[in-house]
A and B are shown apart, each in its own frame.
Chain A
Amino acid sequence: SYELTQPPSVSVSPGQTARITCSGDALPKQYAYWYQQKPGQAPVLVIYKDSERPSGIPERFSGSSSGTTVTLTISGVQAEDEADYYCQSADSSVVFGGGTKLTVL
């Protein structure tokens, strides 16, 4: 079955740039979506269609795609960005990546 692979954790200092990757064989053909989930809260969509940002999401969140890998980039990371981030795509079925815990040092 189709899988999306994310690193378990990423750590950055405040003000630096965080990059979270997501790899999957179908990503060259299908869009990816990104969600932020803080403890005890529901996920929130932060990027759709690889690089589109929903209204209300800060400009420091951006997305890109290259081949079988998509990347969520958070520029000028703030303490409030500490959360779990999940990528999602779909082929014949909806699939989520395993999640990446972003730690702001």
Chain B
Amino acid sequence: QLQLQESGPGLVKPSETLSLTCTVSGGSISSSSYYWGWIRQPPGKGLEWIGSIYYSGSTYYNPSLKSRVTISVDTSKNQFSLKLSSVTAADTAVYYCASHMVQGVINPVGWFDPWGQGTLVTVSS
């Protein structure tokens, strides 16, 4: 079955770019069945969707983060990645990657399953 694992620096300085990678195992990232998504959770708070990508490179982004977010896919490595620019302390969160079963054609309607274990990224100087 699908398994996802996040990796990347746990500490990022303010104004710099946060970069994370999600490695997919147990299946191909090029599967036509899935998008691949990023979700974050600030400490003690709720979940916030960041964006999702298809293996072809088609993306959906959260409008509130769109200006700072880039999600890309590397099918040769079975990985997809997140870059979040100009980070502040408000971007401190556990970042999760997940398989996104998108059902819609024009909207990112669908569910996330399974999820990676998450990685804590702290923004601090």
Instruction: Name the A residues within 8 Å of B60 (CB-CB).
Output: 93-94
Min CB gap B45→A, angstroms? 8
How far does the alpha carbon of A40 sit from the alpha carbon of B113 in the complex, in Å?
18
Instruction: Name the A residues within 8 Å of B63 (CB-CB).
Output: 1, 92-93
A25 at the interface (CB under 8 A from B): no
Q: Tell me if B48 and A96 are in contact (CB < 8 A).
A: yes
B117 at the interface (CB under 8 A from A): yes
Contact with A98, one of B46, B110, B116 (Cβ below 8 angstroms): B46
**Stretch of A11-19, A42-50, A64-72, A73-81 contacting B (4+ beta carbons < 8 Å):** A42-50
Min CB gap A18→B, angstroms? 19
Q: Tell me if A90 and B47 are in contact (CB < 8 A).
A: no
Q: Tell me if A94 and B46 are in contact (CB < 8 A).
A: no
Q: Tell me if A91 and B116 are in contact (CB < 8 A).
A: no
Size of the B side of the interface (Cβ < 8 Å), in residues, is 27
Q: Tell me if A42 and B109 are in contact (CB < 8 A).
A: no
How far does the alpha carbon of A45 sit from the alpha carbon of B107 in the complex, in Å?
20
Q: Tell me if A96 and B109 are in contact (CB < 8 A).
A: no
- CB contacts under 8 Å to A, within B80-125, are 96, 101, 103-104, 107-118
A9 at the interface (CB under 8 A from B): no
Contact with A48, one of B39, B108, B111 (Cβ below 8 angstroms): B111
A88 at the interface (CB under 8 A from B): yes
Instruction: Name the B residues within 8 Å of A43 (CB-CB).
Output: 47, 96, 112, 115
Binding site for B on A (CB under 8 A): 1, 30-31, 33, 35, 41-45, 48-49, 54, 86, 88-99
